[in-house]
């Protein structure tokens, strides 16, 4: 299965492609950053990013596009641009009949490191290790896009729906699955002794 991850941004939009094979073996395929200049009118910036996303989707023909779920930050103009780019990624995928998934940064951190509050450097390091890269992808938007794709590949719901039993999940996947179940029942995440 090919997964295209998108880290939406108006100035830098990260795009990462991985292949998820048997036994959840993940392989690096491609990473890039689509850039637009802040000196360009916003409609033209969005067009440039949309065209870049379309080019990547048509080049790699992924089975799914995984996009960072936008959340409110203090800087509203940044959130607005990010949300617009996330919408473009969803549109580009939908126009080609490719399903999309949304994962928050905390879900990505949890899936990759086992902690939803892991620092960015730790996530970059784990992306490098998981995909057997010689160095972390640069800039951070590139690593974040690959993280999105990895998160989708390792999501517990997909593993369990695929007929695999819980004992085949990694500790991070098991913790994530427990947190999802707890949230469905109105409970917060359970603390564990270390």
* Catalytic pick among 39, 68, 124, 167: 68
pLDDT tens-digit readout, 64-83:
999 999 876 666 767 888 99
Checking if the pLDDT of 57 tops 80, the result is yes
Specify whether 58 is catalytic.
no
Q: Is 124 annotated as a binding residue?
A: no
Specify whether 68 is catalytic.
yes
**Among 3.40.50.2000, 3.30.420.10, 2.60.40.2140, 3.40.630.30, what is the CATH number of 2-154?**
3.30.420.10
* Catalytic pick among 55, 141, 166, 193: 141
pLDDT tens-digit readout, 89-100:
999 999 999 999
- Give the span between the Cα atoms of 188 and 123, in whole angstroms: 23
Quick one: pLDDT band at residue 155, thresholds 50, 70, 90? confident
Compute the mean pLDDT over every residue in the chain, rounded to the nearest whole number.
Answer: 84
Q: What mean pLDDT do residues 137-162 have? A: 80
pTM of the model: 0.80
Most confident of 52-61, 65-74, 147-156: 52-61
């Amino acid at each position: 299965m090919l997964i295209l991850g998108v880290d939406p941004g108006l100035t830098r939009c990260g795009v990462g492609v991985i292949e998820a094979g048997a036994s959840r073996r993940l392989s690096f395929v491609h990473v890039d950053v689509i850039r637009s200049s802040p000196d360009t009118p916003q409609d033209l910036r969005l067009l440039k990013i949309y065209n870049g996303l379309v080019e990547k989707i048509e080049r790699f023909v992924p089975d799914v596009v995984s996009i960072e779920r936008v959340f409110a930050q203090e800087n509203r103009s940044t959130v607005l641009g990010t949300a617009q780019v996330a919408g473009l990624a969803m549109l580009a995928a939908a126009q080609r009949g490719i399903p999309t998934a949304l994962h928050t940064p905390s879900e990505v951190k949890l899936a990759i490191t086992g902690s939803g509050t892991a620092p960015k450097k730790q996530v970059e390091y784990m992306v490098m290790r998981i995909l057997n890269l010689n160095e972390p992808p640069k800039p951070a938007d590139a690593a974040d896009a690959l993280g999105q794709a990895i998160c989708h590949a390792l999501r517990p719901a997909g593993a369990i729906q695929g007929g695999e039993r819980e004992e085949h999940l990694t500790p991070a996947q098991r913790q994530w699955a427990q947190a999802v179940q707890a949230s469905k029942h109105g409970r917060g995440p359970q603390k564990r002794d270390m």
